[in-house]
């Protein structure tokens, strides 16, 4: 409510070490409200480590991460979604034995309050919140064209559709920040085009910010309001897609022309 003034997500001086290896060496950047931010960099740049840190799966060795001013970098990972951080995974992490609808509903877990007893007895409050979740799931399945698969076990769907289910599952809890780990990975051209439009539709409908880690440069440059580029664990550029594209360090990081790097 009051947080509109500052950035939604503040990443401050994050250092991530694995044993003696420094994967991320002091990176800071912001993601604004309803902003789409692309995190790019060559393989091994530390994108995924940083992403896992923001989603609460790694603890930073140094530095802190704040969401709407609240420090989140030392909270347990199951608190993240409740705070408003939804995510998808690079290599699908769906609940494979469950149907598409059940998967999406599972995303609404932290919006429910009903415990074991209330659920077993179907108390009015638990029935009410279940009905609300069902309604949101229906709307999301419609938005993402998943209605025809609603009762199908998710494991049987083609890859691209499974990615959509993950998206729906992350969106049902109405997050403030959506973290997407290589959303275009494994998709064909047409699917990537559809994805770009989908992101804009999602931002409009859900009034959220998106942070995406992506290899697909074309997609990142097309959808992002701002781009943060990493190389060897350091930030080498931070700005609009045009600015980042024009940065010599980015060009050399991608083309391997060390001569240009200043």
Partner 1 sequence: MASETPLLKRLLGVDQRVFWALGLVLLVAPVFTVESYRLFQLTLAAIYAIAILGLNIITGYNGQISLGHGAFYAVGAYVAAIMMDKMGLPYWSTLPAAAVICGLVGFGIGFPALRLGGLYLALTTFSLAVAVPQLLKYKGIEQWTGGVQGVLVFKPDAPFGLPLSSDQYMYLFTLAMAVLVFVLVRNLMASRIGRAIMAIRDHGLAAEAMGMDIARLKTNTFAVSAMITGLAGALSAIAVEFVSPDSFSVNLSITLFVGMVVGGVASIIGPVFGGLFVVFVPNLAEEISKAAPGVIYGFILILFLFVLPGGVAGLLRRLVARLLR
Q: Does 221 bind partner 1 (CB under 8 A)?
A: no
Judged by CB under 8 A, the residue of 30, 64, 129, 193 near partner 1 is: 129
Q: Does 156 bind partner 1 (CB under 8 A)?
A: no
Q: Does 48 bind partner 1 (CB under 8 A)?
A: no
Q: Does 82 bind partner 1 (CB under 8 A)?
A: yes
Rounded to 10°, the helix 189-206/159-171 angle is 10
| Residues 6+ away with beta carbon under 8 Å from 56 | 72, 73, 75, 76, 77, 79, 80, 85
Judged by CB under 8 A, the residue of 3, 44, 70, 120 near partner 1 is: 120
Q: Does 121 bind partner 1 (CB under 8 A)?
A: yes
Taking each continuous run of H as one helix and of E as one strand, the counts in the chain are 10, 10
Residue 15: CA atoms inside 13 Å, Cβ hemisphere, count? 10
Residues 240-259 that bind partner 1 (CB under 8 A): none
| Residues 6+ away with beta carbon under 8 Å from 73 | 14, 53, 56, 59, 60, 63, 64, 65, 66
What does the per-residue mask of binding to partner 1 show for 200-219, with x meaning CB under 8 A? --------------------
Q: Does 59 bind partner 1 (CB under 8 A)?
A: no
- Using the 8-state DSSP alphabet, how is residue 156 labeled? G
What does the per-residue mask of binding to partner 1 show for 86-105, with x meaning CB under 8 A? -x-x---xxxxxx---x--x
Stretch that binds partner 1, among 108-116, 157-165, 198-206, 239-247 (CB under 8 A): 108-116
Residue (49 or 231) nearer to partner 1, CB: 49
Residue 235 corresponds to which tokens in the numbers above?
Answer: 């930030």
Q: Does 114 bind partner 1 (CB under 8 A)?
A: yes
- Using the 8-state DSSP alphabet, how is residue 228 labeled? E
Stretch that binds partner 1, among 9-17, 112-120, 214-222, 229-237 (CB under 8 A): 112-120
Distance of CA 149 to the CA centre of its chain: 23
Residue 245, φ and ψ in degrees, nearest 5? -60, -30
Q: Does 159 bind partner 1 (CB under 8 A)?
A: no
Beta strands in 6-157 (DSSP E): 9-18, 21-31, 36-40, 62-67, 70-71, 85-87
- Interface positions with partner 1 (CB under 8 A): 55, 57, 76-82, 87, 89, 93-98, 102, 105-110, 112, 114-116, 119-122, 126, 129-130, 133, 169, 173
């Amino acid at each position: 409510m009051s947080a509109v003034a500052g950035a939604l997500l503040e990443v401050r001086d994050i250092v991530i070490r694995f044993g003696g290896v420094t994967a991320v060496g002091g990176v800071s950047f912001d993601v604004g409200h309803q902003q789409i931010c692309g995190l790019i960099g060559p393989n091994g740049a530390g994108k995924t480590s940083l992403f896992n840190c923001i989603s609460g799966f790694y603890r930073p060795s140094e530095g802190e991460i704040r969401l709407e001013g609240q420090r989140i970098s030392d909270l347990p990972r199951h608190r993240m979604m409740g705070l408003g951080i939804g995510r998808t995974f690079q290599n699908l992490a769906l609940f494979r034995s469950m149907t598409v609808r059940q998967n999406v509903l599972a995303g609404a877990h932290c919006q429910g309050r009903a415990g074991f007893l209330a659920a077993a007895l179907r108390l009015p409050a638990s029935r009410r919140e279940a009905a609300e979740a069902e309604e949101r799931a229906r709307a999301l399945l419609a938005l993402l064209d998943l209605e025809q698969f609603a009762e199908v076990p998710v494991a049987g769907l083609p890859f691209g559709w499974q990615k959509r289910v993950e998206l729906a599952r992350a969106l049902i809890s109405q997050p403030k920040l959506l973290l997407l780990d290589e959303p275009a990975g494994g998709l064909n051209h047409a699917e990537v085009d559809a994805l770009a439009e989908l992101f804009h539709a999602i931002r409009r409908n859900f009034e959220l910010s998106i942070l995406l880690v992506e290899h697909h440069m074309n997609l990142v440059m097309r959808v992002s309001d701002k781009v943060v580029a990493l190389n060897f664990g350091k930030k080498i550029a931070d700005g609009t897609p045009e600015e980042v594209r024009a940065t010599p360090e980015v060009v050399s990081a991608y083309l391997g022309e060390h001569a240009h790097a200043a």
